[in-house]
Structure 1
Amino acid sequence: MAIIDNAIYVGGVRTENPRTLSETFETMRERGGMGWIGLYRPSEHEVREVADELGLHALVVEDALAGHQRPKIERYGDVLFLVLRPARYLDDVEEVEFGEVHVVAGPDFVVTIRHAESPDLGRVRARLEHDQQLLARGPEAVLYAILDEVVDEYAPVLAGLENDIDEIENQLFVEDADATERIYKLAREVIDFQRATQPLPGMLEALQRGSEKYQVEVELQQYLRDVLDHTLRIADRATTFRTVLDNALTVESTIVARRQNEEMRRMTELSIRQNEEVKKISGWAAILFAPTLIGTIYGMNFTVMPELDWTFGYPMAVGAMLVMGLGLYAVFKKKGWL
């Protein structure tokens, strides 16, 4: 059995600690107190057993068995069903871990179904057991305390996210290939955090609207208003984080683009310089090629060559070399190759 804690409360005092669910239901009916059953990752059979004993709506069972839901509140007659997404910040890996807890609150019972380590419902129970006056107000008091605990646990998450964002802002203007990836990853966590927190104000406002109809005490209504104020501030900070990260991503993209442009400019300048050098080398190679060609022809030493016995043969060959070399030099100089 996935029972973490199971107790009967009468007048805000813990009077019984039933060992089984059947014993819990019998004692609740005998004593007329409030039963609080805490389950941790129960099986489908265990959820249906609780639902059958408490007469829960079939949709409550369906929702309780479905995991990975967004926060919501549903009312089935005099039974409330809540889905909450607690969170905790993991310092060692600098990540946010999200949990899920379902709360079923009826006239004389509360069932909590926890699917992760957070929130610490044992701390909530201990807090209420030390405040008998608050616990005596019944399931609404337990519901308030659970909401308050979930919202309070968001504070370290906000602090961790804010610290990560500060580090990213300092990292923006330092050439770091991991900056963009880190911004995307942190933005994803902020979006998940928004999904966990943004529905809460509407849920609390819905609870307040039903307070008079379901005769919720004025003091409890005030407590719920305090939690609502906290959720509104949390939602505002999460929105601010999202805006800052969007701006950081824009700045990072601009910086990366500027660095790429500068690199392209350097590569272009290098290519231009290389082209100039190639032109110079090609020009001088062409100039030297002309006399080399003539010298090669007259260096073949054939017996029958008209110019070999001509008096002006040598001056003509040298003159041709000079004329061709100077002509090519003039052409390349005019084109800017030399």
Structure 2
Amino acid sequence: MSVVDSAVYAEGRRVARPESLRETFRLIEEHSGMGWIGLYRPDHEEVRTLAEHFDLHPLAVEDTLDAHQRPKLERYGAVLFTVLRPARYLEDEERVEFGELHVFTGPDFVVTVRHAENPDLARVRSRMEQETDGEGVGLLRRGPEAVLYAVLDEVVDGYGPVVDGLENDIDEIEDQVFAGDPNVSRRVYALLREVVDFQRATHPLLGMLEALRTGFERHSVDEELRRYLRDVEDHAVRVVERVDAFRALLHSILTVNATLVAQRQNEQSLRQSEEVKKISSWAAILFAPTLVGTVYGMNFEYMPELSWRFGYPMSLGLMLAVCSGLFVVFRRRGWL
């Protein structure tokens, strides 16, 4: 059995802990209360049993069986079908791990179907069984919509540590960029991919919460729950805005890094050019005496300066004069 927890509530209090789905169905009718069934990766038979009893729409059932859905909110008659993508940040791997949670909300029941370990709905259930709202009324007394609110609140609050983890990594990347780390581009691209995936999980929430708020008004949900929903919506807006800012910042970091890399390459090219100038200058200077010495080393019998008393000093002086002249010229041009 994939039933993690199953309970029947009457007047906001747990009155039964059924051992099976069929017993849950019976006790909901017996107590005229609300049933909350929590499933973890259910098999096809369990989902079809729920679908038959609660009259779940075939399309919603198909989505639950297949999983791998994007966040969305669909209403099928009296049943609201919600798909959420909870997330948690794995610091060691610098990776966002996404789960998938499906919530069926009906007139007298809530069915939560988890396809991953995250989030911990046992904590949500425990909080709801103990908490009261601003009017001193137990949240569970406000019906299935209150459970949906609590689940949404848990998922959105779970995004907070993910945002903090991404922000911390971006700060580290900025330091790497200005330190000239050659591996920073790979890290930026990897983190940008995580941010884009996170956007896909969070962006649809705004439209979902707006549609849910509109539906609450249409179905006369009490004002207290609307306040809670607006609070969740405010948190979701802040998360989405920060994630959007992360994506823009990472794109800017990529641009800055490319500029710095190009600048360093230009500086390196300039340094190499200066070295080439120096080497070329000294090569030209040293070539002059080599040329003179080569001419006088040809061993011709008839050369005017061979029998001249001042031929040797003249050749040395010529070498020195040419080398000095080249040195002065190159020095004035800044090559030496």
Question: Structure 1-normalised TM-score?
Answer: 0.85
Is the contact between residue 283 and residue 337 of structure 1 (CA under 8 Å) also seen in structure 2?
Answer: no
Aligned equivalent of 1:288: 293
> Do 1:84 and 1:100's aligned partners in 2 also have CA atoms closer than 8 Å?
yes
Deviation sequence 1:221-265 (CA, Å, 0-9, x none): 111111111111221222222232222222222111111110111
Query: Residues 35 and 313 from structure 1, CA distance in 2 versus in 1: closer, same or farther, beyond 3 angstroms?
Result: closer
Aligned to 2:217: 212
User: For the Cα contact (< 8 Å) 1:70–1:85, is it kept in 2?
Assistant: yes
Residue 63 of structure 1 and its aligned partner are, at CA, apart by 1.4
Establish whether residue 269 from structure 1 lines up as the match of residue 261 from structure 2.
no
Q: Describe the shift of the 1:17–1:289 C-alpha distance in structure 2 as closer, same or farther (beyond 3 A).
A: same
Alignment of 1:33-182 (within 5 A): 33-131=33-131, 133-182=138-187
Q: Which residue of 2 aligns with 1:196?
A: 201
1:251 aligns with 2:243: no
Query: Which residue of 226, 239, 261 maps to 2:244?
Result: 239
Distance in structure 1 (CA, Å) of the matches to 2:26 and 2:244? 48
- Paired with 2:144 and 2:284, the residues of 1 have a C-alpha distance of 89
- Listed as ranges, the gaps of 5+ residues in structure 2 are 132-136, 332-336
Following superposition, the deviation at residue 134 of structure 1 comes to 1.2
CA distance in 2 between partners of 1:314 and 1:117 (Å): 99
Report how far residue 22 of structure 1 moved.
2.2
TM superposition shift of 1:25: 2.0
Deviates more, 1:210-219 or 1:79-88: 210-219
Secondary structure, in 3 states, of the residue corresponding to 1:293?
A: coil
Structure number with bigger Rg: 1
Hey, what's the Cα distance between the residues in 1 that align with 2:209 and 2:330?
A: 80
Per-residue deviation, 1:330: 6.3
SS of the aligned residue for 2:218 comes to coil
Distance verdict in 2 for CA 1:142–1:292, change over 3 Å = same
How many residues matched? Answer: 324
Structure 1 counterpart SS, 2:248: helix
AA in 2 matched with 1:58: P
Secondary structure of 1:153's match? helix
- Taking only the aligned residue pairs, the percentage that are identical comes to 52
**Alpha-carbon distance between aligned partners in 1 of 2:106 and 2:229, rounded to the nearest angstrom:** 18
1:205 and 1:86 map into 2 onto residues whose CA distance is: 19
Q: Is structure 2 residue 320 aligned with structure 1 residue 315?
A: no
The CA distance in 1 between the partners of 2:226 and 2:311, in whole Å, is: 112
Cα gap change, 1:32 to 1:314, in 2 (>3 Å): closer
| TM-score, length basis structure 2 | 0.85
Shift, 1:157, TM fit: 1.7
> What displacement does 1:326 show?
5.5
Q: Secondary structure of 1:97's partner?
A: strand
**Separation in 2, partners of 1:65, 1:204:** 24
Question: CA 1:274/1:334 → structure 2, altered by over 3 Å: closer, same or farther?
Answer: closer
Secondary structure of the structure 1 residue equivalent to 2:35? strand
The answer as to whether partners of 1:35 and 1:110 remain within 8 angstroms in 2 is: yes
Deviations 1:124-156 (A, max 9, x none): 100111137210221111100000111111122
The equivalent of 2:334 in structure 1 is: none
Q: Which of 47-56 and 149-158 deviates more? A: 47-56
Once the two structures are TM-superposed, the CA of residue 284 in structure 1 deviates from its matched residue by 3.3
